[in-house]
Amino acid sequence: MSSVHVVRASDPLLRVDALDRLVTELLDGDDRSFALEDFTIANRRGGDGDVDDRPSGSGEGGEGGLIAAILNAAQSPPFMTARRVVVVRDYEQIPTAEVAPIVAYLADPLDTTALVFVGGGGRVPKALADGLKQAGAETVGPDSEKTVDVLAQAAEKAGLTLRPEASALVGAHLGDDAGRVGGLVDLLAGTYGSGAILGADEVEAYLGEVGSVPVWQLTNRIEEGEVAAALATLHRMLSATTARDPKPMHPLQVINLLHGRYRKLLRLDDPGIATVDQAHAALGGKGSSFPAKKGLEVTRSLGTDGLRKAIDLLHQADLDLKGSSALPPGTVIEVLVARLTGLAGRSRRGSRGRGSTPTRR
Per-residue pLDDT for the chain (361 aa), expressed as one digit of tens each?
569 999 999 888 899 889 999 999 999 889 888 999 999 998 654 433 333 333 334 444 455 688 999 999 999 999 889 999 999 999 999 999 999 999 999 999 999 999 999 998 788 999 999 999 999 999 999 888 899 999 999 999 999 999 999 999 999 888 888 888 988 999 899 899 999 999 999 998 888 777 777 788 899 999 999 899 999 899 888 887 766 677 788 899 899 999 999 999 999 999 999 999 999 999 988 888 999 999 999 999 999 999 999 999 999 999 999 888 888 899 999 999 999 999 999 888 776 655 544 444 3
Is residue 255 in a domain? yes
DSSP string, 188-232: HHHHH-TT-EE-HHHHHTT--SPPP--THHHHHHHHHT-HHHHHH
Mapping DSSP onto H, E and C, the string for 295-310 reads: HHHHHHHHHHHHHHHH
Q: How many domains does the chain have?
A: 3
Q: What is the DSSP letter of 179?
A: G
Task: For residues 60 and 81, state if they share a domain.
Answer: yes
Q: Which domain holds residue 305?
A: 216-354
Alpha carbon of 344 to those of 225, 263, 297, 314: distances in Å?
5, 16, 12, 14
d(CA 299, CA 358): 9
- What pLDDT score was predicted for residue 59? 41
| Domain identity same for 225 and 350 | yes
Query: Do 84 and 103 lie in a common domain?
Result: yes
Judge if 229 and 350 occupy the same domain: yes
CATH number where 252 lies: 1.20.272
Residue 130 lies in a domain: yes
Structural domain includes residue 58: yes
CA dist 357 and 316 (Å) reads 29
Percent helix / strand / coil, the chain, rounded to 5: 60, 10, 35
Asked if residue 249 is part of any domain, the answer here is yes
Boundary of a domain, candidates 140, 162, 184: 140
Residues 171 and 233 in one domain: no
Whole-number pLDDT of residue 319:
93
Q: Is residue 359 part of a domain?
A: no
Among the candidates 92, 117, 140, a domain finishes at: 140
What is d(CA 199, CA 134) in angstroms, rounded to the nearest whole number? 49
Instruction: Check whether residue 96 and residue 125 sit in a common domain.
Output: yes
- Check whether residue 157 and residue 133 sit in a common domain: no
In sequence order, which residues have a C-beta less than 8 Å from that of residue 321 and are 6 or more positions away? Answer: 251, 252, 255, 329, 332, 333
- What 8-state DSSP symbol labels residue 250? P
- The CATH number of the domain holding residue 103 is 3.40.50.300
156 with 74, same domain?
no
Q: What sign for the dihedral angle of Cα 171, 177, 178, 181?
A: negative
Asked whether residue 98 falls in the same domain as residue 152, the answer is no
Q: What is the pLDDT of residues 10-35, one digit of tens each?
A: 888 899 889 999 999 999 889 888 99
Both 307 and 200 in one domain: the answer is no
Question: Would you state the pLDDT for residue 354?
Answer: 56
The pLDDT value given to residue 198: 94
Sequence-distant (6+) residues with CB within 8 A of 24 are none
Confidence (pLDDT) at 44: 57
In a domain, 312, yes or no: yes
Residue 159: strand, helix, or coil:
coil
Of 140, 165, 190, the position where a domain reaches its end is: 140
Structural domain includes residue 210:
no
Q: Is residue 360 part of a domain?
A: no
Residues 90 and 9 in one domain: yes
In contact, 194 and 164? CB cutoff 8 Å: no
* Whether the predicted model's global pTM rises above the 0.75 cut: no
Q: Same domain, yes or no, for 33 and 118?
A: yes
Q: Rounded to whole angstroms, how far apart are CA atoms 96 and 159?
A: 46
DSSP per position, 33-94: HHHEEEEE----TTS---GGGPPTTS-SSHHHHHHHHHHHHHHSPPSSSS-EEEEEETGGGS
SS3 265: helix
CA distance 356 to 361: 15
